[in-house]
């Protein structure tokens, strides 16, 4: 669904509906950008992401500046390559290895604009092949499972999250901390300064849910995101851990940030995980860069 369009005309049928040739200055780089609420059942929920559809890569510094200007948790940049799309993700301060909600938002934007069908294949230079597929009202990510093992809690962990942990796991980039209840999780008041000193991209804190199989929150001040509204990539870590603890592979999850969002997670037998959710376009516009 689209609430409104800042660009009045509908996308043209060619591959790039906002190609620079449609503007007075043919040398000025122009491209469409979409802002999409991912893992959102309605507008203003879930996690907003920017999606920039490019013809060729911009310089890294320009993409980082655009992400900083957007000031969203992540902005995805897409470039076509044959029958797939290359994808990279930037927070306001750094490029990251993987971002679930911005990938879901990218698939949604491509499908809605006519640049993609019900399945879109991506290739990330840092995370390999990824895909999104629309089934009914949900779009499903197909991501590799994180490499997770139980570990000794860091000395500063209790100070960082303000509560004691039941178990701690180390993923490729994040720490996962399990606490006893959804109420405990909801009442956490994180110390962002201490969290930023931990040797991790961020800290996932999770608990059994009252009406979901599990609930979570995600804190990543060291990546420029104090609390992420809904974190798809964190569920590549959460899904295998909770699947083993609950003895089931099909899981209903919710991230209980102030915006909040629902996720349908499934641990697959091939070392990958499906993460599904809804998406809503807030607006689309055109970015024009000076020469």
Handedness of CA 196, 198, 202, 205 (dihedral sign): negative
* Phi and psi, residue 126, nearest 5°: -105, -25
Closest CA to 35 of 283, 285, 289: 283
CB atoms within 10 A of CB 196: 17
* Spacing of C-alpha 21 from chain mean position: 32
Catalytic: 74? Answer: yes
**DSSP letter assigned to residue 2:** B
Closest CA to 60 of 93, 17, 15, 21: 93
Q: How far is CA 145 from CA 12, 47, 138, 163, 247, in A?
A: 38, 21, 20, 27, 17
Burial class (CB in 10 A: 0-12, 13-18, 19+), 286: middle
**DSSP letter assigned to residue 117:** -
| Active-site residue, selected from the candidate residues 45, 74, 133, 182 | 74
CB-based contacts of 213, cutoff 8 Å, min separation 6: 242, 246, 248, 251, 252, 253
DSSP bridge partners of 59: none
Catalytic machinery residues: 74
């Amino acid at each position: 669904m689209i609430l409104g369009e800042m660009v009045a005309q509908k996308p043209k049928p060619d591959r790039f509906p906002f190609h620079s040739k449609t503007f007075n200055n043919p040398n000025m780089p122009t491209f469409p950008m979409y802002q999409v609420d991912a893992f959102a059942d309605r507008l203003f929920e879930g996690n907003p992401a920017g999606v920039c559809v490019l013809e060729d890569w911009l310089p890294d510094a320009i993409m980082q500046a655009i992400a900083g200007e957007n000031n969203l948790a992540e902005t995805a940049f897409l470039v076509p390559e044959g029958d797939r799309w290359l994808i990279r993700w930037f927070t306001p301060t750094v490029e990251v290895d993987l971002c679930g909600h911005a990938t879901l938002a990218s698939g949604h934007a491509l499908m809605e604009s006519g640049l993609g069908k019900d399945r879109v294949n991506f290739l990330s230079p840092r995370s390999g092949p990824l895909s999104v597929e629309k089934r009914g009202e949900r779009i499903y990510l197909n991501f590799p499972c994180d490499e997770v093992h139980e570990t000794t809690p860091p000395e500063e962990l209790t100070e960082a999250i303000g509560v004691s942990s039941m178990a701690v796991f180390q993923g490729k980039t994040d720490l996962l901390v399990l606490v006893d209840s959804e109420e405990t999780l909801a009442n956490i008041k994180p110390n962002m300064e201490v969290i930023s000193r931990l040797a991790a991209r961020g800290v996932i804190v999770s608990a059994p849910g009252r009406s979901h199989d599990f609930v979570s929150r995600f804190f990543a001040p060291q990546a420029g995101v104090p609390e992420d509204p809904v974190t798809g990539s964190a569920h590549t870590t959460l899904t295998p851990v909770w699947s083993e603890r609950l003895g089931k592979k099909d899981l209903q999850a919710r991230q209980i940030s102030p915006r909040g969002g629902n996720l349908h997670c499934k641990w697959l037998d091939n070392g990958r995980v499906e993460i599904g959710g809804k998406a809503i376009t807030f607006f689309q516009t055109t970015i024009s860069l000076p020469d």
